[in-house]
Amino acid sequence: MNTPQTWSAIGFEVEITGDGSPTLRLMPGECMHHSGGAAEETELIYGRVIRKSFEVIPKPHFLSVGLGLGYVEMTIAREALLKQNFNFTLESFELVPELRDYLKQWLIEGEVNSEISSVYDQVLKYVLKDTTLNSKDLKKLLASKLTENSWSLQGPLVADSEFLAKAHCLLFDAFSAKTTPDLWTEEFLVDFLNKSTSADAVVSTYASRGTLKRALTAASFEVQTHEGFKGKRNSTMAFKGALQGPI
């Protein structure tokens, strides 16, 4: 294995959040999730739109920006298992190559060491916390999506990125504008949303920036402001086409 096998070697440290679930923090710098709970924040911001996508679209395509520890991807797989709908495709963008490698190794190759694997095991435990689903079934589903090329693990999102398909559900979980400013400009967002989303689509993100809302409106989305997680500023959901309506 050529990939470093400690979190510190790739510039991160593990933090346990308020609900017991793990997250990563850049050393020094931004944390991937709210300190109040990584799993609970994922559920609040992304769980509802993932469920709605499965309810409305027979073969949904999901686009995740900011793979991180795979909370969003595991939540998609959980909902697929609960609904027994495996006709979905997925692509994830992630700036840090080791995070892509670790997840693939954990799912398929079994070569990742205990310091790394234990964190993914904990993420999965919390994603499945209120279900009777088997963790092995979820890992098997995601591994099969990778090997079948129904899940594309991509590098950093840039202006000329190409997409597997037009997304019905866009889960925008990138680091903030302070850490990744290029992803949050209005010009970039309008172009990205127009290129990457279907006529029937939902977008959800923890952020509530004016540039984001203007870009969503310019890309024909109906924008809704929702509560943030545990005192965070507002989060944003946006809808168009068949995915419009109550969430």
Domains (ranges, CATH) in the chain?
8-243 (3.40.50.150)
Return d(Cα 145, Cα 74) in angstroms, integer: 12
Phi-psi region of 11 (alpha: psi -120 to 50; beta: other; left: phi over 0): left
Using the predicted structure, report yes or no on whether residue 233 has a pLDDT greater than 80.
no
Return the structure tokens found at 137. 């079934």
pLDDT number for residue 245:
81
Return the structure tokens found at 192. 């990205």
Q: 30: helix, coil or strand?
A: coil
Return d(Cα 235, Cα 206) in angstroms, integer: 5
Q: What band does 63 get if pLDDT is binned at 50, 70 and 90? A: very high
Pairing mode of beta strands 12-16, 22-26: antiparallel
pLDDT number for residue 4:
86
Using the predicted structure, report yes or no on whether residue 1 has a pLDDT greater than 60.
no
Contact 207, 235 (CB under 8 A): yes
Q: What band does 7 get if pLDDT is binned at 50, 70 and 90? A: very high
Q: For residue 138, with 0-12 CB atoms within 10 Å meaning exposed, 13-18 middle and 19 or more buried, which class applies?
A: buried
Closest among 75, 92, 117 to 173, alpha carbons compared = 92
Task: Report how many helices (DSSP H) and strands (DSSP E) the chain contains, helices first.
Answer: 8, 9
For residue 183, the 8-state DSSP code is G
Return d(Cα 150, Cα 131) in angstroms, integer: 25
pLDDT number for residue 212:
94
Using the predicted structure, report yes or no on whether residue 156 has a pLDDT greater than 70.
yes
Contact 91, 63 (CB under 8 A): yes
Q: What band does 3 get if pLDDT is binned at 50, 70 and 90? A: confident
Q: What is the mean pLDDT of residues 13-39?
A: 91
Q: What band does 16 get if pLDDT is binned at 50, 70 and 90? A: very high
The mean of the pLDDT values for the chain is: 94
Read off the pTM: 0.95
